[in-house]
Chains A and B, each alone.
Chain A
Amino acid sequence: MAFYSDNWVVYVALIYLAINKLLQYTISHHKQWKSKLPFPNVRVSRQRFLEKRHEIRKLQIENRLISAQDNYAQWTKNNRKLTKLEKELSSIKEELTKAVAKNDKLLGTLKLVVLTLPFLALKLLKGKHIVYHLPKSDVFPQLMSGVWTKGWLYLGLAPLQMLRGRSMSAVSITEVGVSLGIWLWALQRVVDTIEFLIKQLFLESAVTRPEPKVQEVHEINSDKIELD
């Protein structure tokens, strides 16, 4: 139980990472999913838009069926009605665009509040939590061991400490641990590299070398040209 209670930070961080990766991989489907969400403002505008468009198309078909010369009055009346309907359609479309933009902004804020900010808070508050200790403490140089244990701040403060004359052996010589912040950074980098490897080795289609283009050398031997 102690194992799980100590490492809940790691599990939560892994869950956040997994969710972020899932969102990254499914980015092409986001618009489709967002359009299926039952926002009342969008649903109403969309319905009105489709009805209006259907009306316009019906009237356009009717207008094409009648002869402009024989039924000029009716034809002109239909045209005027069409112009009016088109103006209404464009205003509904504008309304729909604004409603969609508002919903997109709301979803973005939701993602920020539910996903991004908590993950950032976890990294800031629990960034120095040791995920595991390196099996051998003398594998890396002291500077690097300090960074793994204390985080990137150690790298920034190291020159200052050297100027003050303090030694850099702020870390324990017996045990070198890897902090959560460093571990997450390393894990993300490794995952990105594995993605790159899979993409290049298995998913990318082969590109053949293009044939060299023979440059035509044009020499002017005559001042006569043939007219087209």
Chain B
Amino acid sequence: MSELSESEKRKILRERRQQKFRAGGASSRLNKITGQIPNSQLSTESSLDTTEANEHTKGLSNDEDVYQIIDSPEGNEQSTKEMDELIASISKPPSSKIIPPKSRDFSPTPELSETPGTVDPFSMLKAMQGDAEGNGSSPFDLFKAMQGGGQTEPGESPFGKDPVDEEMVNYHKYVVNKLKAYSILFKWLFFILPYVYVVIKSETLPFELPNWLVNPSNFFTIFVAFEIVATSIYYQKLQTFESDNNIDTLQHNNKIAKLASFIPNEGLPIRNVRDKVFMALHYWDVLSMFITDICFVLILMGVFTYI
């Protein structure tokens, strides 16, 4: 292989340099030096002041486990937090004060407003447009027309219903769970447990009870009747909470209901699919509570067999 001449060497070096520039190599190195990217070598903090630096000079930290090492983020977290704060401050709506007018007289020439620093944009606009439109409509008429012809009621947001408050949803979930817990506890402790005991141990009871109550063949009928009454009371209470808090429990707690709410009610081969799905979910909820109580009965019977 012949030796490369000086000019060829320079050419190769020049090409490499240009490739590096194109790939952004040079600017990334410059940014690193000037501290514009995380993990930069240039920092104005004194390492002697930081305690973290002193800890690391002492030795290896053996307490860190492998999952902490793997999950630790690379880069400067602090700059990410600062950026998030900056974005949050920018996204706040700008404050603007509305000054009550003294007169609604829009002259063609822009007028000097009485309060310094305030501007009358509409009159300026009109002045720019001139009187070519003739009478012209007042800007307030235009604004009202933009709101949709008065379809919204006063005080109501013209952009539709406000989203449900998350705090209210959490409170509603808490209340519904508490209701469910108390109703299960009441059913299990004050009906199922004593009734199963009475049916199983009817011969050993010190007192006498009516035969229709302790007859095992009537157990299931009485059990189902009680379940119907208890479930009705539970659902009535649930509806009261839902109307007080203005939240539909099923749509906020159930994932299937949330997905089903996206299904349109019309336009599909089966009509009212969404409503049917909600009804099925309601029935499943009732059935699930019934099945749980049946399971408790089975376990209790097993326990009483061995006692």
Q: Give the complex CA separation of A78 and B33 in angstroms.
A: 12
- Is A139 a contact of B219 with CB atoms below 8 Å? yes
Q: Is A6 an interface residue (CB 8 A)?
A: no
Q: Within 8 Å CB of B69, what residues of A?
A: 46, 49, 93, 96
- Is A96 a contact of B171 with CB atoms below 8 Å? no
Q: Which residue of A lies closest to B125 (CB)?
A: A223
Q: A93-B70, A222-B100, A228-B95 are in contact. Are A215 and B167 (CB under 8 A)?
A: no
Chain B interface residue count, CB cutoff 8 Å, equals 78
Q: Which residue of B lies closest to A209 (CB)?
A: B171
A36 smallest CB distance to B (angstroms): 7
Q: Give the complex CA separation of A169 and B296 in angstroms.
A: 25
Q: Is A27 an interface residue (CB 8 A)?
A: no
- Is B301 a contact of A135 with CB atoms below 8 Å? yes
Q: Which residue of B lies closest to A228 (CB)?
A: B94
- Is A225 a contact of B60 with CB atoms below 8 Å? no
Q: Within 8 Å CB of B143, what residues of A?
A: 220
Q: Give the complex CA separation of A26 and B61 in angstroms.
A: 26
Q: Is B191 an interface residue (CB 8 A)?
A: no
- Is B121 a contact of A223 with CB atoms below 8 Å? yes
Interface of A is mostly: helix
B96 smallest CB distance to A (angstroms): 5
Chain A interface residue count, CB cutoff 8 Å, equals 72
Q: A97-B70, A139-B219, A209-B171 are in contact. Are A79 and B101 (CB under 8 A)?
A: no
12 A-B residue pairs with CB within 8 Å? A78-B41, A135-B305, A190-B296, A200-B180, A201-B181, A201-B182, A206-B174, A210-B171, A220-B140, A223-B123, A225-B96, A227-B117
**Chain B residues within CB distance 8 Å of chain A:** 32-33, 39, 41-43, 45-48, 53, 56-57, 59-62, 64-67, 69-70, 74, 94-101, 113, 115, 117-123, 139-140, 143, 154-155, 162, 165, 167-168, 170-171, 174, 177-178, 180-182, 184-185, 199-200, 216-217, 219-220, 291-292, 294-296, 298-299, 301-302, 304-306
**Chain A residues within CB distance 8 Å of chain B:** 31-32, 34-36, 42, 46, 49-51, 54, 57-58, 60-61, 63-65, 68, 78-79, 82, 86, 90, 93, 96-97, 100, 131-141, 144, 148, 178, 182-183, 185-187, 189-190, 193, 196-197, 200-201, 204, 206-210, 213, 215, 217, 220-228
